[in-house]
Amino acid sequence: MSTWFKVHREIFDSDIWNDVTTFRLFMYLMGKASHQDGVKIAGVELKRGQYLRSYRKLAADLAYKEGRGTKEYSLRTIKKAIDKLISAERVNVRETEQGTLFTILNYSKYQGSDDDEKESVNTLNQEPNTNGKRTVNNNKNAKNARINKNKEKRHKYEICDMALAELLLDEIRKNNSGFKQPNLEKWASDVRLMRERDERTEEQIKYLITWSQKHEFWQANILSPAKLRTKFDTLVMQVKQDKQKAKSNVVQFNKKEAEDDGYNYGF
């Protein structure tokens, strides 16, 4: 039995329409996403609009014929396309032991049946008032209700942000194995703010995460990306001071952490 899925016309006005690779990837994820809750893949129970797949397998899935052979996208190209979809708020991703879990944002909005939409609108447009009569609301109210639902707060982040959030958690737990599980999506969102708003590089953030968790004082004070963001400039100054002290052989405390590893972090 053949199946199908719907695509909203607004995609022709979106940025991904002009990027063939990103467009192909989005269409593939949309078509492969579970159309109902409860479907299991590799032991993972999916919700409607979710799909479980590794980056490497996606690269193979999207391979195409070129001449007499077949060309496959590089993992870097796949990651770049996924990052674009995340930035465009088309998908969310979460790493699991079984692979990457992709969630199509607003999946129900695009894939809901016409009957479901009409029923939803009719329900919103006709509600009993206190006198037992039916009161009719216009379509604008129904539309606003759906828009407000879709605007529920979401944490925005990219794969690199989640990786850095998980790195900080791992480093903290090396010092305190009983550290409570945080909201990693919130942590990843704070890392994104450091990159985008504060213009910190991934390398700088990674360096200060590992450095702070080896520092006798800062390991007890930097316990979240939000705190790292607040104290970022202070930590940079501390790193510079430690490096200078190590070079001048005045103070050897934390010399190992302060030594230059050959990479220019900008501080």
Least confident among 56-70, 95-109, 166-180: 95-109
Tens of pLDDT, residues 45-86: 888 889 999 999 999 999 988 888 888 989 999 999 999 999
Task: Dig out the tokens for 180 from the structure.
Answer: 């409570």
115-138 burial: b if 16+ Cβ within 10 Å, else e: eeeeeebeebeeeeeeeeeeeeee
More confident residue, 258 or 190: 190
Average pLDDT estimate for 214-222: 95
| Co-location of 69 and 43 in the same domain | yes
| Co-location of 92 and 17 in the same domain | yes
Average pLDDT estimate for 216-230: 95
Count of domains in the chain? Answer: 3
Binning pLDDT at 50, 70 and 90, where does residue 161 land?
A: very high
What is the widest separation between alpha-carbon atoms in the chain? 86
Report whether pLDDT(249) > 50: yes
Q: What is the pLDDT of residue 164?
A: 95
Q: What is the pLDDT of residue 96?
A: 84
Tokens 């958690």 sit on residue: 169
More confident residue, 129 or 91: 91
Range of the domain at 123: 113-150
CATH number at residue 28: 1.10.10
Smallest CA-to-CA distance from 180 within 211, 213, 223, 221 is with: 223
Tens of pLDDT, residues 12-40: 777 788 889 999 999 999 888 888 888 87
Binning pLDDT at 50, 70 and 90, where does residue 99 land?
A: confident
| Co-location of 32 and 86 in the same domain | yes
More confident residue, 138 or 192: 192
Q: What is the pLDDT of residue 144?
A: 57
Residue 243 lies in a domain: yes
Give the chain's mean pLDDT: 79
Binning pLDDT at 50, 70 and 90, where does residue 120 land?
A: very low
| Co-location of 75 and 52 in the same domain | yes
| Co-location of 104 and 18 in the same domain | yes
More confident residue, 231 or 34: 231
Residue 2 lies in a domain: no
| Co-location of 175 and 242 in the same domain | yes
Exposed (0-12), middle (13-18) or buried (19+): which is 234, by Cβ within 10 Å?
exposed
Average pLDDT estimate for 217-224: 96
| Co-location of 23 and 65 in the same domain | yes
Q: What is the pLDDT of residue 236?
A: 94
Average pLDDT estimate for 120-137: 43
| Co-location of 212 and 249 in the same domain | yes
| Co-location of 104 and 182 in the same domain | no
Q: What is the pLDDT of residue 106?
A: 80
**Measured distance CA(160)–CA(201) in Å, rounded:** 11
* CB-based contact 202:192 (threshold 8 Å): no
Average pLDDT estimate for 238-243: 90
Q: What is the pLDDT of residue 122?
A: 44
| Co-location of 40 and 128 in the same domain | no
Tokens 């809901």 sit on residue: 112
Binning pLDDT at 50, 70 and 90, where does residue 113 land?
A: low
Residue 3 lies in a domain: no
| Co-location of 199 and 144 in the same domain | no
Backbone torsions φ then ψ of 196, nearest 5 degrees:
-80, -45
| Co-location of 146 and 211 in the same domain | no
